[in-house]
Amino acid sequence: MSGEAGFLTTKLDEMLGWARKYSIFSYPFVTACCGMEYMSVSCAHYDIDRFGAGWPRFSPRQSDLLLVVGTVNHKIAPVLRKVWEQMAEPKWVISFGVCATSGGFYDNYATVQGIDRIIPVDVYIGGCPPRPEMVLEGLMLLQKKIASQKQELF
């Protein structure tokens, strides 16, 4: 009997993981020039819609993916933290571009040297700016992570 319950729970977990990985609502936190490359991923040539992530939300409460695109300075860091805290679980973060990932070439007192010092990051996409193919690869990595996680029912 316990084997059957494990089977059903496992199958439900897999089904929820599959559904969540193909229905990602992103909140683009765009602060710099990488925003132009982010917009190109939505165009027909790259078509982020086929991955279930084409419809951005501009409210953190309606989003489950926070895309941090570009440079984050210490003045805007508390705002980024507040946006992340307002998101409902489950939530994921992608660091988009070298500036969000490591501060880029802005090695100074005003720039955060990687957003992972403020919020947890699930996927890092390097590049200055990252090519659309790299963004799609990062999204696919996130989808694999979502599908393999234990799915919580609320």
Q: Residue 43 annotated as binding?
A: no
Do the annotations mark residue 34 as ligand-binding? yes
Please indicate if the annotation marks 99 as binding a ligand: yes
Are 109 and 117 in contact by the 8 Å Cβ rule? The answer is no
> Which residues, 6+ apart, have CB-to-CB distance to 87 below 8 Å?
27, 60, 61, 63, 64, 66
Cβ atoms of residues 133 and 151 within 8 Å? no
The span from the first CA to the last CA of the chain, in angstroms, equals 25
Which residues define the annotated binding site?
33-34, 99, 128
Which residues define the annotated binding site for [4Fe-4S] cluster?
33-34, 99, 128
